[in-house]
Structure formats: C-alpha cells, structure tokens
Amino acid sequence: MSAVILPGAEPFLFRRGPVGCLLVHGFTAAPQEMVRLGAHLANHGCTALGVRLAGHGTNLDDLARTRWRDWLASAQDGLDLLRGLCDRVVLLGLSMGGLLSILLAEAEPPAGLVLMSTPTLVPPNRLRPLLRPASPVYRRIPKGPPDWFDPSAAAERVAYPAYPTRAMAEVADLIEIARAALPHVHAPALVIHSLNDDFVVPANAQTLMAELGSRDKRLLVVEGSNHLVTLDAQRQTVFDAALAFVRRTAGPAR
C-alpha cells in the first residue's frame, strides 16, 4: 500500500465530549466527504472521528488490492479508538460506509446508527460473475460525470476517478453480507436517503426500514441532493437531523 495520502484524504479527529461519533465514508472516496458533518457534531460537543478505509485516499491500485474485510478492519480500528475515548458511540456511515456500520453494529451494538444513502439491493447484472476473473484485463470502470444540485460541492470532493473492477466485486459481496445482518441489528437507527439519488435508488432505504431489527428506526427523505447527502445542497438538513438523533440516543451534547 502507498504511504502517500492524497491532499484532503486524511482521517480526522475532533476531540470534545463523552459522546463519540464514528464517521465512515463510501467506496472510492475519503474522509473528506464526512468532515463537514463531523465538524458540525463537534461544534455541538461530540467527539467526531472520521476513518480512512484501507485502499482509499492513495491510488486506485491500492483499492484494487483490498477486500471488504480490510475496509471493515479499518472501521473497526476507528471504533476501538473511539470507544477508548468516549462513553457512548454513534455510528454514521455514508453509502458503503453504511454497510460497514451495519456490520459493526451487529457485532457491538452502538448507542445509535445513522445510515445515509446506503445500498441494500445488488442491481441484477449478468456481468457480476465476471468482475473477478475479468479484472486483470478490465482493471477499471470510469465514473460518469457527477450530477450536483450544489456545483460548488464538487470542488472539494476527494475521490478516485474510476472504480477498480476487482473491488466492485467486493462491494457486491458486502451488500449481500450487510443485508443478511440487518435483522440482527437492534440499535436505534436513522435512515437518510435522497429522492434524487440515482446511484443508490430510494428503494434501498425502504429495504433498510423493512429489514432492520431495530424497534426504534426512522426514515428521513430529502429532496434536492444527489447520492452524497453530506456534501450536496441538502447537507445542512442532514447535519441537523444527525445531531438531533445523536442527542436523542446517546445523551446530551451542547
């Protein structure tokens, strides 16, 4: 793995009070997509830690060499650190970060769980069985042009320009594994999804709500945002909802 981290892709820690928030970013991205949310939580007294997942924030070859268990280990390391600093912990995951948060919550129930733009449905694709065997030849799949409601958010985005084919197979596996874990997750949960998410369509949120084992689970649907709800135009709505949920489930913050 490369020792060179892309500018802006560094993990972050805002150390404040006894309520800890673990923020887990998505596939091909970096902690940057969670740092504004982390700062908002910290400004209200929470300790906020944004982890950098294995293979992310360096180069595409690093990501192609990682597996979903490596990403989970990165998130687990962050959780272990945060539990050493805080009395109560809330997990907040975006997209693939939500999948990892589900698995963490199954193993070690947190005070609360926030799942943003989280996939639960693997799109039917006859090419999926070919992702692994074809990856030495077709190493990468370029990303399409981003569709932002707030174009200024694109300027600060830190992410790879393509998807490693081999790693995409890992994501598909991870979706199925996390979905199977949903009935065993009982922590209070807040599910956040955009009606305009054409990458992980809103039906994924309905599956989360139907299959999560949590008795206390709420759905927030936003409109006027793309998949990256922590960055796009409705980010403040997301930040405020996340903070209110943390206060309700983990105790007082300022």
* Domain CATH for 76: 3.40.50.1820
Residue 176 belongs to a domain: yes
What is the rounded distance in angstroms from the CA atom of residue 193 to the CA atom of residue 205?
7
pLDDT tens across 190-240, in order?
999 999 999 999 999 999 999 999 999 999 999 999 999 999 999 999 999
Residue 114 belongs to a domain: yes
Backbone angles phi, psi at 94, to 5 degrees: -110, 125
Structural domain that includes position 224: 12-250
pTM of the complete model: 0.95
Question: How many domains is the chain built from?
Answer: 1
48 forms bridges with which residues in the sheet?
14, 21
Residue 1 belongs to a domain: no
Q: Rg of the chain over CA atoms, in angstroms?
A: 17
Residue 5 belongs to a domain: no
With H, G, I as helix, E, B as strand and everything else as coil, classify residue 8. Answer: coil
Residue 112 belongs to a domain: yes
Confidence of residue 139 (pLDDT cuts 50, 70, 90): confident
Confidence of residue 155 (pLDDT cuts 50, 70, 90): confident
Residue 168 belongs to a domain: yes
Cβ within 8 Å of residue 180, ≥6 positions away: none
Residue whose tokens read 């983990």: 250
Residue 57 belongs to a domain: yes
Other beta carbons within 10 angstroms of residue 45's beta carbon come to 16
